[in-house]
Amino acid sequence: MTPDRQPFFQRYSEYILPALMPVVVLVITIGAWLLRTFTTSPALAVNAIAIVAIVLGGYMRFRAGLRDIIRGKITVNVFVVVAIAAALLIGEFLPAAVIVFIMSAAGGLESFTLGRTRRAISSLLDLTPKTATIDRDGTEVTLGLGEVKLGDVVIVKTGERIPVDGLVIDGEAAVNQAPITGESMPIAKFSGDEVYSGSLSEAGHLKVRTTKIGNDTTLARIVHLVEKAQATKAPVARIADRFTAYFLPAILVISVAVYLITGELVRSVAVLLVACPCALAIATPTAVTAGIANLARRGVLVKGGAFFEIAGKLEALVLDKTGTTTIGRPEVTDVISLDGHSAGEVLELAASAERLSEHPIGRAVVAKAHEDGLRPAEPKEHKVEIGHGVVAQVDGSRVVVGNRRLLDRHDISLEARQTKTLEDLEHEGKTTLVVAADGQAIGVIAVADTVREDVVSAIGAIKNLGVAEILLFTGDSRRIAESVAARIGVDHWLAELLPEQKQHEVSRLRERGQIVGMVGDGINDAPALAEADVGFAMGTAGTDVAIETADVSLMTDDLGKVGETIGLSRKVAKRIKINIALSMVYNAVGITLSATGVLNPIPAVLYQELGCISVIVSSTLLLWAE
């Protein structure tokens, strides 16, 4: 049964029950208080009603506490069991019921906080349509999503959400894929492009061949990953667990000491009640969950709470060049005329010669010509000379496009000034192609893997966060590495590195005592990503390996997301530490007030739970942190 067809109570039971239970306990407790205050009912009847409230509201916590006691573990639930048992032993049935009410109310608020973040992520699944329009031999057939099979061709029209992951085989559309990648602007999709389930076709018509369905779609995997991450504790959380293990015995000693000194059992019990470390217990999970949800909304997937603390302490960040700081494919950067021909004529002639080329550089030349509105001619002859370039017959002219070795093969010479032009471009880290017609060099085309537009500002933002050292690693030549590093503002770079050498260099940085992050594509850079304290995989939407192996997956190619992750990680870690510190101070004050008789059992619990609620509210604010 699909979520939208489930009964209301079944869909929201995990949120309704925690919210409803405090109300039930409160009503019963008030009933017991009214009975004792305004009637002559025997105390046994009043206590029996209070016990009903205690059992209903505290059953799950008592069961968990007893289980932990059997296992020899000292937890918050054990603390609650001891405190409630002490209250009952001295005959404080109504106060015990009030305690259970306040704790169940705090638990309900915590469930709401955690549930809100789960709903924020799980609701992404509701973006997936329940039906799909399939192209069956030219006929449009509407099927339930469960009936769609791999390889089916899905038709998506303007205003419709894409129901599957797949490849566009026909049509074009502006697709809003913010739920998957966090990109705010629609992305133009053409034949051969990937699309993801839950994305919205804002304008256009697509035919999509299905590659993933159901739980295998990128959207479903994102939800699974985030839910799994929410269950992972940060190192700070383990500190809280260890604190609780020592805290309970200490409080028991203080409670006994208060009784021996004052002779008042009520004060002793009040100390136990006010010291319940509920605020301490929820300080970490609520903050971590809110942080995970916040980043997921931006298209950043974090594997678990542990990485919040590590990412916030990064001292060095290693950037892979290709695909991380650069686009990852060659583009034409310069078109220079050498003998009076216009740059457009040079480019059009080169594109005509490269029109049938399968080489990435040849495709880049053709793409540039189309981008400039030129119309490359169909070559009559086309010969690829591997490693050198192409030779073609274009409009009666013999056209040679390639490197200087190709020119030597065809006895085409360059003047000194023309050679100087090539050397200047190559010094900038660009690949040069000489364009010659009928034995005469007429122009030069420079091609390079261009730097992403937002990289410089992203690196500046990361530096402003206090990351002391940013390095560029690449398998390209030293000349190219130096050129790219200078353009993006990175002072340190290493070139001509194999994957295992990148891993070794990351290991060397860590051996120096630095906390190191690595940003790569998640596949080729896998060894270095695994070696780093935190591995950031960029542009991983739809990439199963990257989503599963990276510590942090960036669903787009936006390096700025790394800075956002580091910044929010620091806010999460700082909020956790503040919450823990405040809870300790709160408990210390409460213990003092209870020991001196200022707080009796009920006021003691009210005081303690107000601190718990303040921690929850504090953590919830991280949902909207920038």
- Separation CA 330–CA 362 (nearest Å): 9
The architecture that CATH gives domain 291-326+452-568 is: 3-Layer(aba) Sandwich (3.40)
The structure tokens listed for 497 are: 């590195």
- Separation CA 156–CA 160 (nearest Å): 6
pLDDT at 285: 76
The structure tokens listed for 485 are: 């590093």
Write down the residue that tokens 């003092």 correspond to: 592
- Separation CA 598–CA 337 (nearest Å): 90
- Separation CA 227–CA 229 (nearest Å): 5
Phi-psi region of 220 (alpha: psi -120 to 50; beta: other; left: phi over 0): alpha
Say how far residue 260 (Cα) sits from the centre of its chain. Answer: 54
Q: To the nearest 10°, report the CA torsion of 64, 70, 72, 74.
A: 30
- Separation CA 207–CA 166 (nearest Å): 9
- Separation CA 11–CA 81 (nearest Å): 31
Q: Which of 152, 165, 216, 320 is catalytic?
A: 320
- Separation CA 277–CA 552 (nearest Å): 32
Q: Does domain 129-216 have CATH number 2.70.150.10?
A: yes
565 phi/psi in degrees, rounded to 5: -65, -45
- DSSP code, position 332: E
Cβ neighbors of 68 (< 8 A, separation 6 or more) are 74, 75, 77, 78
- Separation CA 560–CA 554 (nearest Å): 10
Q: Write the pLDDT tens digit of every residue in 19-66.
A: 566 677 777 777 777 777 777 777 777 778 878 887 887 777 788 778
Angle between the N-to-C axes of helices 278-297 and 76-89, in degrees from 0 to 180, rounded to the nearest 10: 140
Angle between the N-to-C axes of helices 43-70 and 76-89, in degrees from 0 to 180, rounded to the nearest 10: 150
Alpha carbon separation from 517 to 206, 562, 606 (Å, rounded): 39, 10, 44
320 is catalytic: yes
pLDDT at 4: 43
Instruction: Please name the amino acid found at residue 318.
Output: V
- Beta strands 492-494 and 469-473, pairing class: parallel
With 0-12 / 13-18 / 19 or more C-beta atoms within 10 angstroms meaning exposed / middle / buried, residue 276 is buried
pTM: 0.65
pLDDT at 336: 92
- Separation CA 430–CA 78 (nearest Å): 67
- Separation CA 117–CA 291 (nearest Å): 9
Give the side-chain half-sphere CA count within 13 A for 402: 23
Q: Write the pLDDT tens digit of every residue in 564-619.
A: 999 999 998 888 888 888 888 888 888 899 888 888 877 877 787 777 778 888 88
Instruction: Please name the amino acid found at residue 180.
Output: I
The domains of the chain are located at 3-122+226-290+570-624, 129-216, 291-326+452-568, 330-450
pLDDT at 351: 93
Residues 399 and 391 sit within 8 Å (Cβ to Cβ): yes
Residues 411 and 441 sit within 8 Å (Cβ to Cβ): no
- Separation CA 357–CA 362 (nearest Å): 6
Instruction: For the domain covering 330-450, report its CATH number.
Output: 3.40.1110.10
To 5 degrees, how large is the angle CA 619–CA 312–CA 541? 85
- DSSP code, position 519: E
pLDDT at 124: 55
| Regions of the chain where pLDDT drops below 70 | 1-22, 76, 99, 102-103, 105-126, 178-185, 222-244, 278, 281, 387, 522-524, 540-550
Q: Write 176-180 long-range contacts (CB < 8 A, 24+).
A: 176/200, 176/202, 177/541, 178/299, 179/124, 179/127, 179/219, 180/218, 180/219, 180/222, 180/299, 180/541, 180/555
Say how far residue 500 (Cα) sits from the centre of its chain. Answer: 27
Residues 491 and 485 sit within 8 Å (Cβ to Cβ): yes
Residues 578 and 560 sit within 8 Å (Cβ to Cβ): no
